[in-house]
Amino acid sequence: MKRFPEYYSFWHIAGHYGLRVTAFLVLLFLMLPIIVIMPLSFNAQPFFTFTEGMLSLDPEAYSMRWYQEIIDDQKWRIAIRNSFVVGIAAALIATTLGTLAAVGLASPWMPYKRLITALLLSPMIVPLIIIAAGMFFFYTQFNLVGTFAGLIIAHAALGVPFVIITVTATLSGFDRSLFVAGLSLGASPLKVFWDVVIPLIRPGVISGGLFAFVTSFDEVVLVLFLAGPEQRTIPRQMFSGLREQINPTILAVATLLVVLSAAMLFTLEALRRRSARLSGAG
């Protein structure tokens, strides 16, 4: 039994345990839906619930058939390829342009800093449906609707704020006198950027890139408006699957995506620790 200070009332002790129970229940609410779909994706029957066989742990009740279906179905294979192509291309654009801009914004000489920062972060605030409608109107004029180029540009714009935020955070621990030292030794600003700044802020740049990639990888509203049948991505394929013919293949895809997000999460956490160590804060 835990010992409480003498002045604690009954209600305080009740609150102490009540808080624990509440926190546990809320975490359960957060995790349970994600955990439940995992065993269901191995269901041998095309149902969204646990069969009697599954509950009695009968091996016959479990199967890999829905995973096999992902591999066999050309639509899913194309969607997986598209998601990676678009995500990587969009993340590269967002990271390159975003890192450069973040370095400029971190300079004490930067003019109109507040206005420009607000502008660069705005894709994060505007609802996707509005962005999607606007892009549809504007990109049509350049024949970008229904093309990979259009989708990549759109997703790169969405990823930009995340790169700006993460790289700016890393730069706040960056000693600006190193930049000035490089300049005073005769290097051009771009050379200093490449040889001095980039190696030091690399963890921030990589996590910004990962954020941008995940943003594109998960995004479906812009895909619905801007992509043609050839640019279908994984979320787009899931969206139509959920609307048209629901079957556990979607649960198998979902399970794979959860595993992928877990991998991303641990990579980012490792990067954050490394970045904290480099900037001397942790």
Q: Please report, as residue ranges, which positions from 171 to 230 form the binding site for other proteins (by CB under 8 A).
A: 189, 193, 211, 214, 217-218, 220-221, 224-225
- Interface region with other proteins, contact rule CB under 8 A, candidates 73-81, 104-112, 170-178, 198-206: 104-112
Token reading at 249 = 């293949």
Task: Give residues 120-179 in contact with other proteins (rule: CB under 8 A).
Answer: 120, 122-123, 125-139, 153-154, 156-157, 160, 162, 165-166
- Interface region with other proteins, contact rule CB under 8 A, candidates 57-65, 67-75, 95-103, 198-206: 95-103
Task: Give residues 6-35 in contact with other proteins (rule: CB under 8 A).
Answer: 7-9, 11-12, 15, 19-20, 22-23, 26-27, 29-31, 33-34
Task: Give residues 35-74 in contact with other proteins (rule: CB under 8 A).
Answer: 36-37, 40, 47-50
| Residue from 265, 270, 277, 282 binding other proteins (CB under 8 A) | 265
| Residue from 254, 271, 275, 279 binding other proteins (CB under 8 A) | 254
Q: How many residues bind other proteins (CB under 8 A)?
A: 90
